[in-house]
Amino acid sequence: MLKIALAALALVAHAAVFAQATPVGLWKTIDDDTQKEKSLVRITDNGGVLSGKIEKLLDPASKPDAVCDKCTDERKDKPVLGMTVLRNLKHNANDSEWWDGGDITDPNNGKTYRARVRTVEGGKKLQMRGYIGPFYRTQTWIRVE
């Protein structure tokens, strides 16, 4: 009986660690140039497809009613707060650390980049990489929950 209880406990602990290793959750975004906190983005999983929505703006210079006036798609002139900025990421079958195949939009400049994400440091941080052609930039986001 003790062996069964220990095995069950180990399984639950393993599941908790794995859950933290996924990108799903609430993340504090950090500007890669200024290192200032920008926003809180909640990443959700809908049938194996990840998306991320801005839940809160943290930069005091950000206006709470800001809109994405530089966006060129259906998000043009829509509020930044509540905007889906990360779309259509799927788990990479060939490289299990990464989720990719989707895109991320920077509401400050309206540009959309191919996106690739992975958790690091046991799920405490998220490496967010955005690409245009061969060029990319990487931000590190911090898990809030």
Question: Can you tell me the distance from the alpha carbon of 143 to that of 41, in angstroms, rounded to the nearest whole number?
Answer: 10
CA distances from 59 to 3, 62, 67, 80, 82 (A): 51, 5, 15, 13, 15
**Contact (Cβ atoms closer than 8 angstroms) between residue 26 and residue 41:** yes
The whole-number pLDDT of residue 19 equals 44
Label residue 21 by pLDDT band (50, 70, 90).
Answer: confident
Label residue 8 by pLDDT band (50, 70, 90).
Answer: very low
Question: Can you tell me the distance from the alpha carbon of 114 to that of 102, in angstroms, rounded to the nearest whole number?
Answer: 6
91 vs 9, more confident: 91
pLDDT tens, position by position, 67-99: 999 999 999 999 999 999 999 999 999 988 999
Label residue 40 by pLDDT band (50, 70, 90).
Answer: very high
How much is the pTM?
A: 0.83
The whole-number pLDDT of residue 3 equals 53
Question: Can you tell me the distance from the alpha carbon of 128 to that of 23, in angstroms, rounded to the nearest whole number?
Answer: 10
Interval 90-116 mean pLDDT = 94
Query: Which domains does the chain possess?
Result: 2-143 (2.40.128.520)
In the predicted model, what is the mean pLDDT of the chain?
A: 88
Least confident among 7-11, 49-53, 112-116, 117-121:
7-11
Radius of gyration of the chain measured on its C-alpha atoms: 17
The whole-number pLDDT of residue 7 equals 45
Question: Can you tell me the distance from the alpha carbon of 129 to that of 44, in angstroms, rounded to the nearest whole number?
Answer: 18
